[in-house]
Amino acid sequence: MRVLGVDPGLTRCGVGVVEGVAGRPLTMVGVGVVRTPADAELGHRLVEIERGIERWLDEYRPERLAVERVFSQHNVRTVMGTAQASAVAMLCAARRGIPVALHTPSEVKAAVTGSGRADKAQVGAMVTRLLRLDAPPKPADAADALALAICHIWRAPAQNRLQQAVAAHRTLKGRTA
């Protein structure tokens, strides 16, 4: 399975492509950042993010997109930008029929470090180890995007079982209704 992880943001959108299956060593296929100028108009920034994500989808043809699930935290302004950038990434994938999965920051941290409260450095260190890289990918957004992709590959079997259970339950409900 090839997954494009996206750590959304208006100024820096981390992107990372990881290939592999749960329980086997994973491979980094690509990593980078889509940037937009902070002083550009919001509409233009969203167009730039769309172009950037489209380039990554064109070049790496991922089978899945994994995006950070955005919560409203302390900095409202940042959260809005994050929600907007993530919307553009999800839109680009869904238009191509690529399934989109959302993972919370603590799910991602727990998946790669074992602790949902790990810090940036710990996540970077584990991403470096798990993908057998020479050094932690920079900036942190790029490392976070890779962590998202790793998290998705590892959580996918459990998520599929859940979805199948929900679908089976719905079918059952439909039959008994």
Range in contact with its own copies (rule: CB under 8 A) among 17-25, 82-90, 134-142, 145-153: 82-90
Structure-derived torsion over alpha carbons of residues 167, 173, 175, 177, reported in degrees to the nearest 10: -150
Range in contact with its own copies (rule: CB under 8 A) among 22-30, 74-82, 115-123, 133-141: 74-82
Contact pick of 84, 106, 122, 128 for its own copies (by CB under 8 A): 84
Is 7 annotated to bind a ligand? Reply is yes
Query: Counting contacts by CB under 8 A, is residue 106 touching its own copies?
Result: no
Q: Is 105 exposed, middle or buried (0-12, 13-18, 19+ CB in 10 A)?
A: buried
Among 81, 85, 83, 89, residue whose Cα is nearest residue 70: 83
Contact pick of 2, 22, 35, 47 for its own copies (by CB under 8 A): 47
Q: Angle at the Cα of 66 (from 38 to 3), degrees rounded to 5?
A: 115
Range in contact with its own copies (rule: CB under 8 A) among 22-30, 55-63, 95-103, 112-120: 95-103
State which residue, 50 or 107, has the beta carbon closest to its own copies: 50
Contact pick of 1, 22, 100, 110 for its own copies (by CB under 8 A): 100
Is 7 known to be catalytic?
yes
- Answer yes or no: are the C-beta atoms of 145 and 32 closer than 8 Å: no
Q: Say how far apart CA 130 and CA 147 lie, in whole Å.
A: 9
Is 141 known to be catalytic?
yes
Q: Say how far apart CA 111 and CA 153 lie, in whole Å.
A: 10
Q: Say how far apart CA 10 and CA 27 lie, in whole Å.
A: 27
Query: Counting contacts by CB under 8 A, is residue 12 touching its own copies?
Result: no
Q: Say how far apart CA 90 and CA 8 lie, in whole Å.
A: 10
Is 54 known to be catalytic?
no
Query: Would you tell me which residues interact with its own copies (CB under 8 A)?
Result: 41-44, 46-47, 50, 65, 70-72, 76, 79-80, 83-88, 90-91, 93-95, 99-100, 102
| Catalytic residue numbers, as ranges | 7, 68, 141
